[in-house]
């Protein structure tokens, strides 16, 4: 069908829906990802009417997460086409009458309020949600990961709007918090808050963090706030390690050939460290972390959210040292709250303002992904609706 005919049919569809609804309807831009190796597709679609308990948000800023990059290159599979982007901040446009009209903390929500929200919407009645694991609850819906359909388009960061479903944790954010910082709360910051929860008491503990990406540097900062005795960050990239010290690391170590850096091993080969976080997803790093742990040590793994080889565990070491391994994928509602609380209090203390190293407009989304892959910054940001 010729383009002009498709456009006329689109306008007719808009008009019919407007007449049917009895009021004007919105339409908005979005960027569709159709699969690895394909160009991003720019589209304009109708924003459907809200269903019971939903909220319409105008996306303002989104950051490209590591999982977005994994999907973009094919290391992670998502149903296509999909609107990528889940680290999002936006402003409230409309609140359905059947929504409580309040955010997760009980604060009233009004049009124009700045908000961020959980990466997921989860059934509050499901068993796992009640057990504090809503990110694995029934009828799970994940923003930035769902397939575009004929009726559902606006559920990711690379779009002008996002429709928030019931079971989404929504939090108001203060106007003084820069949007590029606020956008990272609902993935990396909240995930690290969950990892800290799983690690237990941090005070006076010796901590090693594998991976100096966004998760790793945030983990160092949170451990510093939690009064860790000593914090080390390990990575294969010297440029990333150089950024870790201002976020609370006492020492940095470069890992080569999948082996524990000799200086780090010599420091703790006797009694070991107390807590090891893996934010890298590298099997070699996870194995090295287990070797570094002392008696009663805890390993928290969050990085391996893509296919890797199996991790080799020495069962004698695990048993004799009474070690604990805990995994975390995403986070729960309280982690989300704690993540925002942390960043509101401490974004000035640590250089979080430098995390988003380059910004693009939505029309340049493909260049943003290419830049992130080429230069590997902590984060690349995209202004969905241009700065005013």
Give pLDDT tens digits for 230-248. 999 999 999 999 988 899 9
**pLDDT over 90, % of the chain:** 85
Per-domain residue ranges for the chain? 25-184+355-383, 193-327
Choose between 249 and 78: higher pLDDT. Answer: 249
Whether the per-residue pLDDT at 46 is higher than 70: the answer is: yes
Q: Domain spanning 193-327: which CATH class is it, in words?
A: alpha beta
Q: How far is CA 94 from the centre of its chain?
A: 25
- For domain 25-184+355-383, say whether CATH 3.90.180.10 is its number: yes
At residue 20, the pLDDT reads: 39
- Closest CA relative to residue 352, chosen from 230, 247, 259: 247
- Single out the residue of 382, 356, 372 nearest to residue 72, CA to CA: 372
What is the pLDDT confidence band of residue 19, given thresholds at 50, 70 and 90? very low
Check residue 21 and give its pLDDT: 46
pLDDT band of residue 13 (cuts 50, 70, 90) is low
pLDDT at 8 over 60: no
Question: ∠109-147-122 over CA atoms, to 5°?
Answer: 45
pLDDT at 325 over 60: yes
Is residue 6 pLDDT above 90, yes or no? no
Q: How many CA atoms lie within 13 A of 313 on its CB side?
A: 14
The mean pLDDT value for 318-327 works out to: 98
Selection from 61, 367, 354 nearest residue 214 by Cα: 354
Domains 25-184+355-383 and 193-327 share a fold: no
- Please check the confidence at residue 147 and state whether its pLDDT lies above 70: yes
Calpha distance 245→262 (Å, rounded):
20
Residue 17 has pLDDT above 80, yes or no: no
Q: What is the mean pLDDT of residues 33-42?
A: 96
Q: Is the confidence at residue 11, as pLDDT, over 70?
A: no
- Rounded to whole angstroms, how far apart are CA atoms 220 and 147? 35
Tell me: pLDDT of 7 over 60: no
pTM: 0.91
Strands (E) across the chain are located at 27-32, 41-46, 55-63, 87-95, 114-121, 141-142, 161-164, 168-172, 206-210, 230-235, 251-254, 273-278, 293-301, 324-327, 356-361, 379-383
Q: What is the mean pLDDT of the chain?
A: 92
Cis link prior to 221 (omega < 30° from 0)? no
Strand-pairing partners, residue 266, are none
Which residues are CB-neighbours of 346 under 8 A, at least 6 positions away?
A: 221, 225
């Amino acid at each position: 069908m010729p383009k002009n005919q498709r456009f006329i049919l689109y306008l007719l569809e808009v008009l019919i829906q407007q007449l049917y609804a009895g009021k004007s309807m919105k339409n908005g831009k979005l960027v569709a990802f159709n699969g690895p190796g394909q160009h991003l597709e720019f589209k304009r679609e109708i924003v459907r009417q809200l269903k019971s308990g939903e909220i319409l948000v105008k996306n303002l800023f989104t950051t490209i997460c590591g999982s977005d990059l994994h999907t973009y290159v094919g290391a992670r599979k998502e149903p296509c086409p999909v609107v990528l982007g889940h680290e999002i901040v936006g402003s409230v446009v409309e609140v359905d009458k059947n929504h409580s009209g309040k955010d997760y903390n009980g604060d009233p929500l009004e049009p124009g309020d700045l908000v961020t929200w959980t990466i997921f919407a989860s059934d509050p009645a499901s068993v796992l949600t009640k057990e504090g694991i809503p990110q694995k609850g029934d009828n799970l819906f994940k923003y930035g990961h769902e397939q575009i359909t004929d009726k559902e388009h606006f559920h990711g960061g690379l779009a002008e709007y996002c429709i928030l479903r019931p079971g989404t944790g929504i939090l108001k954010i203060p106007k003084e918090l820069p949007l590029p910082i606020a956008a990272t709360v609902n993935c990396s910051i909240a995930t690290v808050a969950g990892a800290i929860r799983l690690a237990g008491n941090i005070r006076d503990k010796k901590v090693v963090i594998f991976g100096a990406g966004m998760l790793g540097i945030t983990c160092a900062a949170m451990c510093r706030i939690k009064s860790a005795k000593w914090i080390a960050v390990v990575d294969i990239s010297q440029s990333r390690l150089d950024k870790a010290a201002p976020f609370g690391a006492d020492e940095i170590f470069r890992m080569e050939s999948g082996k524990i850096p000799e200086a780090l091993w010599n420091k703790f080969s006797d009694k070991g460290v107390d807590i090891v976080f893996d934010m890298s997803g590298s099997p070699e790093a996870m194995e090295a972390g287990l070797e570094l742990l002392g008696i009663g040590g805890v390993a928290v793994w969050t990085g391996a959210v893509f296919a890797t080889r199996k991790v080799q565990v020495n069962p004698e070491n695990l048993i004799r040292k009474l070690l604990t391994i805990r995994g975390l994928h995403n986070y729960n509602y309280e982690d989300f709250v704690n993540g925002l609380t942390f960043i509101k209090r401490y974004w000035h203390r640590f250089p979080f303002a430098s995390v988003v190293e380059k910004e693009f407009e939505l029309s340049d989304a493909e260049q943003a992904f290419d830049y992130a892959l080429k230069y590997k910054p902590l984060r690349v940001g995209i202004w969905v609706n241009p700065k005013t």
